[in-house]
Amino acid sequence: MASASRAEISRHGFSTVYTPPSRVGRAVAHIIFIHGLFGHPEMTWTTQKPLTNSMSRSQHSTIPPTNNSPANENLPQTEGTGSMSKTIFWPAEMLPAVIPNVNVHTWGYDADIDGFLSSASQNTVAQHAANMLSDLADLLENDESKPLPVFFIVHSLGGVVLKAAMNQSAETKATRLRTVVDHVLGIVFLGTPHRGSKTASIGRYAHKKIQIYSFREEKQTRRFVILNTVVVEPDSAKIGLPEEEVSTIPESHGDMTKFRSPSDIGFKRIVAQLKRWVKLIEVEDTVTVDGDCLQSLQSTDTQLRFNTVASSHVKTFHWLHDSNKVSFSKWLQDSENMGSIYWIQGKPGSGKSTLMKFAMQDHRTRHALGISDGSPYIIAGYFFHDRGKLIQKSIQGMLQALLFSVLSQSFELRQFVQPVYTILVSHQHTKSVAWDFDALQDAFQAVVQQRQVKIRLCLFLDALDEHHGDNDRLSGMMHNLATLSDGQIVNIRLCLTSRPWDTFVSNFGRCPRFKIHEHTREDIEAYTSSQLHKALDKLPDYGPAANAKSRQLDIIANQTSNQAQGVFIWVRIVVELIAAAIRDRTPFVALESMLAEMPSELEDLYSHTLARIDSRHVKESYVMLQIARCSLIPLGLESFANTTSWALWKRVPDPGDETLEDMTQRVISRSGGLLEVIEFPSTPPLVETYSDDDEISVDSLRYPEDQLPIPPLQQMKSRIVQFCHQTAKEYIQKLKGDFGLQLSGKVGNGYQYMMAAAVSSPRGWAKHMADEILEYAILSRKADPATSSDYILKKLWKLHPQAFPSRERNNWLFRKKLHFYVQMLYSQSSQWFCLAFAAGLLDILTGIPIQIGPVCSDLWLTALLGPPVTSKRVSRRDMLQSLWDAVAPSSASKLEIGIWLPDRRHVSFTPLEVMVIDKVFKLSDGVDRTATFQFLLSHGADPNMKCSQDLMNSLRWRYEDSDHEHPSFTVFMACIRQESAPVIRLFGRYGARVPKVYCEPLRRMWRLIKAPSEVFFEVMRIVESEEPEPLETHEADVIDDCPFGLILPSMVGVATVNGRMLLGAYGENAALALESVVLAVVLFKRWRRRAGERRKYGT
């Protein structure tokens, strides 16, 4: 295994040290090694110690030498035991023996100290990152058929360079460097300092798409003679992502990259992870984007609105393609001069959605778009739906629907989505992946930003006013999408519809446009005449009177179109009433009178409709309308009917007593037509969603089914209940009291009905209500403040044993990402109290004996750290204050709160210590720490209290140093390391003090540091409030006693040493964590040298 047999390794750029021989087959991935500060592309990964004679022959047989000669068709074998090399370069000599089907490379760069400890250090890192990114792009372009996946093993500062390169790739647009990050699937970080660096995060893209495995050193580096001699501290050696795996290597910072045999534990841990990643690549080679990716994008929810919009009447909307009336056809033919966006606005209920579906499916649309260079336009659409689930009214749902539709129609574009899909498969370990917003955005951007495949898109986006979110952001996204059209490779057109809201007028008011309600009078008359004649045709022949009746109906149709004012939903309701009257043989004069009495305003028509409901059914009508108004998601027909029955009679029909047709008729008749039952095609499992908005007719001008923009779903019928139109929902939501139904007695609200249903059948038809009972509880209180917490708690306790035994309840909490209430609470019996308390039901404390015991402790823990359990965000201060008032302790320092530590010990701490433990172990997320500390300190918490032994043990276990054992160590000193400047300032206002033994060393450090961090500044304000005292010990002894390993990293900013600028990095305003260690070394060596000189000469 002589080193002479190795491939020559360059100091700069890529060097290939192993490629698979032909016997192994083609390589499935690249593995790239990058060294760190002071490192070398070969020596960093090479052992410097000779192999011992005790190594067995069998052990050496697993370490083949490297031979990249094309003539060598076999895996390299050992040279025997006669002579053994004094060095082992393990990337070439050990790694191929266990993972033979990969290419192995090193990448080198100038990592000398002069390049990094300078005022231009960040520019240096950025330049190295740019060089690495360009070199990697060249490497991937040389791959035979397609770029191979890439895995990195990076040490120390090499990880900082790599992260900067990944961010540069993700932020680059329209160059070959943009796609480089798509091919990076995994990174092994070895002792990389993440905290404080500008590239501490790999970025949004990498966070979701690159698998991370971070290793830290276990042993100290001997040449550093300060207290904190671990070069990269545990907290800095990990990024902190939820998906990140973290482990250790039992070596020092410099030796953690060097392995002598496959039995070394560090080598085994790294290789085990690489094997898992390579195995996933081998499996993913069988993934077919055509089938699996498209199937994962297909969603009943995102397609439902389009599928359930009724097609236009055969005689309506043909004016859309008449260029003498509107400019739509001209825009289709010449968007280059007219702009990429066309806006159709209209009154509520004016038929916008029906028109959009007509435009998408009518053959004249595709004909007007034309064909350029053999590339027809891809037509895709998404219809926002306020009455649906969140995905039906969100940008995420829009992206998923558009991606599915576009990829269904273009095989060539699928290659750009494959890297994103492959990453999702590797993360979720299934081909049926769940797409999140970031993945969808990355995939969609990859399609529209590429410049390799000609793409011509015409996107129809309906009902922007029903989008759930920031409409200015949505409008901006539309304009940004339009700007991606270059007129050559990528051509994008957007047709949008919405109500004329101010935000849309300001964003699209200068685009070509028209108002739909100004062009539909003839459509309304044609539709009305057709529907009334259908009703008349169902009656026996009138004989000679038939023609007269027909002329009379034409007169009514004309009058209806005059009264409608372009609002189709008004026409729909009126025509249904008149058609029913015709079937009852109502005379023509009565029909005219009936039409004249119809309110012309839509809301007045809804009120008129409710007033006509049979008085025998008004209570049932009220309950149904309340349930439809308050349900968080659309309910299935059976669930809706049973919830109504339970609210009225505290029982539900037996199975078989009521058919689906019976339920449908009951819903429609009791609601006066304001509710409707929609039957729609779905794919298993059953998904509850909705129907139509302003769609009227039945007959269709459908595009051929095999060319539909959105392919048809598997036919499986489901029924849900919804308002007949968005305007009907808005009208009911505005009404107070009994909706004008003139009920007698006390009435409840829909949220209470949902809670009652949850208790009755938590695992059956009311499962949704049981899952969301906390949300319904807080909404019930908001709708009716008189709803008592006692009533709500009774519902919760009834649900507790029946629906959620301990295991199922914990699974339910994990599904809702409320792990805290499973893992951190001491008592299972207090779980519902804590959940209700965190939901905002603060008065549940009244009458509960919580002054002592586990319930009290768990409630305090919830108030301090508990995450929100509903969409309502409860003020942390309000929670603390209500609990303080209920318990009435003498001081916050007297409270004892039990908490589970990572080693599963249950330990009691004061509130301030709980906050320290929370920061150390990251027990909570998003807690307003400043407000919490403010409350505790203002209620008697002692900022100068000494840390308990349990806290000091936890800190020592977490940070693996002994700095916390100093007898003067206080809670405030623990906070210096990990809290923000405002928190330190707050402690100072409430009398926090720095122990005397630390003050003088801090003053001397202050004089050296030219640009201190905000934390250091606040600490020095507290120090300077103390009177300096003469030191009774030598300076070196003071340094040994002072826990600078604890406080220095959070305070060092930029210091000048020997004329050079050094950048510190652990704290908020620093740059590289590694350099703060270098700075500490220089400072303390100087201090020790001077102290030694003074002792030597007696000065």
* Torsion-angle region of 13 (φ positive above 0: left; ψ -120 to 50: alpha; else: beta): left
Residues 6+ apart with CB under 8 A from 1042: 966, 997, 998, 1001
Give the pLDDT confidence score for residue 164 in this predicted structure: 87
Give the pLDDT confidence score for residue 948 in this predicted structure: 85
Q: What are the φ/ψ torsions at residue 254 (nearest 5 degrees)?
A: -80, -30
Instruction: Reply yes or no on whether the pLDDT at 34 is more than 90.
Output: yes
Q: For the chain, what percent of residues have pLDDT higher than 70?
A: 76
Average pLDDT over residues 360-384: 86
Instruction: Reply yes or no on whether the pLDDT at 84 is more than 70.
Output: no
Give 133's pLDDT tier (boundaries 50, 70, 90).
very high
Which residue(s) pair with 514 in the sheet?
344
CB 321 within 8 A of CB 701: no
Average pLDDT over residues 33-54: 78
Q: Exposed, middle or buried, 569 (CB in 10 Å: 0-12/13-18/19+)?
A: buried
Structure tokens at 910: 């004061």
* 328 closest CA partner among 512, 522, 500, 520: 512
Distance CA 293, CA 278 (A): 21
Which residue(s) pair with 495 in the sheet?
342, 460
Give the pLDDT confidence score for residue 1089 in this predicted structure: 54
Comparing 1038 with 161, the larger pLDDT belongs to: 161
Give the pLDDT confidence score for residue 1056 in this predicted structure: 32
Average pLDDT over residues 94-121: 76
CB 125 within 8 A of CB 159: no
Instruction: Reply yes or no on whether the pLDDT at 982 is more than 80.
Output: yes
Comparing 717 with 10, the larger pLDDT belongs to: 10
Instruction: Among 153-167, 217-231, 459-473, name the one with the lowest average pLDDT.
Output: 217-231
Instruction: Among 21-30, 224-233, 914-923, 990-999, name the one with the lowest average pLDDT.
Output: 224-233
**Alpha helices per DSSP H over 1025-1072:** 1035-1041, 1044-1047
Q: What are the φ/ψ torsions at residue 185 (nearest 5 degrees)?
A: -105, -20
Instruction: Reply yes or no on whether the pLDDT at 56 is more than 50.
Output: no
- The CA-atom distances, in angstroms, between 139 and each of 9, 143, 175 are 16, 7, 16
Give the pLDDT confidence score for residue 1017 in this predicted structure: 85
Comparing 626 with 824, the larger pLDDT belongs to: 626
User: How many CB atoms are located within 10 Å of the residue 902 CB?
Assistant: 11
Distance CA 964, CA 910 (A): 18
CB 708 within 8 A of CB 408: no
Comparing 360 with 816, the larger pLDDT belongs to: 360
Instruction: Reply yes or no on whether the pLDDT at 334 is more than 70.
Output: yes
Instruction: Among 200-214, 314-328, 862-876, name the one with the lowest average pLDDT.
Output: 200-214
Give 225's pLDDT tier (boundaries 50, 70, 90).
very low
Give the pLDDT confidence score for residue 849 in this predicted structure: 60
Give the pLDDT confidence score for residue 280 in this predicted structure: 75
- CA angle in degrees (0–180, nearest 5) for 717-290-383: 45
Instruction: Reply yes or no on whether the pLDDT at 265 is more than 70.
Output: yes
Give 840's pLDDT tier (boundaries 50, 70, 90).
confident
Average pLDDT over residues 472-491: 90
Average pLDDT over residues 1068-1094: 46
CB 486 within 8 A of CB 476: no
Give 543's pLDDT tier (boundaries 50, 70, 90).
low
Highest mean pLDDT among 174-183, 761-770, 920-929, 993-1002: 761-770
Instruction: Reply yes or no on whether the pLDDT at 352 is more than 70.
Output: yes
Structure tokens at 68: 């990249």
794 alpha carbon, distance to own chain's centre: 35
Instruction: Among 46-55, 736-745, 770-779, name the one with the lowest average pLDDT.
Output: 46-55
Place of tokens 């707050």: 986
Give the pLDDT confidence score for residue 873 in this predicted structure: 82
Distance CA 698, CA 211 (A): 52
Instruction: Reply yes or no on whether the pLDDT at 428 is more than 90.
Output: no
Give 1001's pLDDT tier (boundaries 50, 70, 90).
confident
Domain 3-284 has CATH 3.50.50.60: no
Q: What is the 3-class SS of 121-134, one letter each residue?
A: HHHHHHHHHHHHHH
Give the pLDDT confidence score for residue 576 in this predicted structure: 87
CB 44 within 8 A of CB 155: yes
Instruction: Give the type of residue at 794.
Output: K
**Alpha helices per DSSP H over 538-655:** 546-564, 568-583, 588-597, 602-611, 618-630, 637-649
Instruction: Reply yes or no on whether the pLDDT at 196 is more than 80.
Output: no
Average pLDDT over residues 828-838: 83
Give the pLDDT confidence score for residue 827 in this predicted structure: 76
Distance CA 998, CA 266 (A): 39
- Average pLDDT in the chain: 78
Distance CA 1024, CA 1027 (A): 7
Give the pLDDT confidence score for residue 585 in this predicted structure: 85
Instruction: Reply yes or no on whether the pLDDT at 980 is more than 60.
Output: yes
- The CA-atom distances, in angstroms, between 537 and each of 527, 542, 700 are 15, 10, 21
* Percent helix, strand and coil across the chain, each to the nearest 5: 50, 10, 40
Give the pLDDT confidence score for residue 276 in this predicted structure: 87
Average pLDDT over residues 346-358: 92
Which element (helix H / strand E) includes 404?
A: helix 395-409
Domain boundaries, the chain: 3-284, 289-518, 524-611
Give the pLDDT confidence score for residue 805 in this predicted structure: 62
Give 401's pLDDT tier (boundaries 50, 70, 90).
very high
Give 847's pLDDT tier (boundaries 50, 70, 90).
low
Give pLDDT tens digits for 510-539: 999 999 999 999 999 999 999 888 888 887
Give pLDDT tens digits for 98-111: 999 999 999 999 87
Average pLDDT over residues 53-72: 39
Instruction: Reply yes or no on whether the pLDDT at 433 is more than 80.
Output: yes
Q: For the chain, what percent of residues have pLDDT higher than 90?
A: 28
Query: Can you tell me whether residue 655 is helix, strand or coil?
Result: coil
The CATH number of 289-518 is 3.40.50
Cα distance between the two ends of the chain: 59
User: How many CB atoms are located within 10 Å of the residue 343 CB?
Assistant: 24
